[in-house]
Copies of this chain bind each other. A is one copy, B any other.
């Protein structure tokens, strides 16, 4: 090693860029976690909009054990879970089980390893069955408003929601809803639409509407740990 500080700054710069991009793109990103998510891998899970993990997955920020505190992962981690839990992970380096990660709010759910891909895809398809325009507006507003004092957050989201409501895409949905299509009926018809869309060639749209972060793991891990994990 004996890398210069310029090397490290560049490394953390690239890593941060990835994390910020995940939150700034309009498509929801779901972390599909198998195995062990450590350091920037754990940061990636904390950063993704949603996360589903295999029951035997584990989560850790173990940098402290090798003398390199997980300071950038801490930014995402401490915004996803409570302070005491974040501090415990950062100071001890100990791993959370998938079940503990659910309790802590780091991931949305833990599922049997063999149904991990299926469950993640099901959630992605459910989100993809909604209007991509609406989902994009909502996701981007989420990360903007959460950093604002509450009164400003309301001023901002009132505008976002008014524009959303007047947009054609929304009009259609709202009108259909108010023309007495029940929520349950709507859900069924949405599912039906998603399926028929799939048949008629819109399946690849999933990638545009809802990205899966699973593929990023090897990349991030290898950037930060030289591929030795």
Contact = CB atoms under 8 A, between A and B. Distances in A.
B69 A134 contact: yes
A97 interface: no
Q: Is the interface of A mostly helix, strand, loop or mixed?
A: helix
Nearest to A127: B91
Given A80-B83, A84-B51, A180-B228, A69 B161 contact: yes
Contacts of A72: 154, 157-158, 161
Contact of A130 (B64, B142, B153): B64
Interface string A154-166: 1001111111111
A67 B134 CA distance: 6
Nearest to A158: B12
Given A1-B175, A8-B162, A149-B147, A80 B69 contact: no
Given A68-B165, A71-B137, A154-B20, A171 B92 contact: no
How many monomers of this protein are in the complex?
A: 3
B5 A145 contact: no
Interface string A41-73: 000000001110000000000111111111110
A51 B133 CA distance: 33
A159 B173 CA distance: 47
Contacts of A143: 150
Interface in A69-115: 69-72, 74-75, 78-88, 90-93, 105-108
Interface in A2-48: 2-5, 8-9, 12-13, 16, 19-20, 28
A134 B68 contact: yes
B178 A226 contact: yes
Interface stretch (A183-191, A195-203, A211-219): A183-191
A85 B68 contact: no
Given A69-B138, A228-B178, A150 B49 contact: no
30 contacts: A1-B174, A12-B157, A12-B158, A20-B151, A20-B154, A49-B87, A50-B87, A64-B138, A66-B174, A67-B131, A67-B169, A69-B141, A70-B138, A71-B138, A71-B160, A72-B158, A74-B141, A75-B145, A75-B154, A75-B157, A81-B82, A83-B105, A84-B106, A90-B142, A91-B130, A92-B126, A92-B127, A147-B149, A177-B228, A178-B228
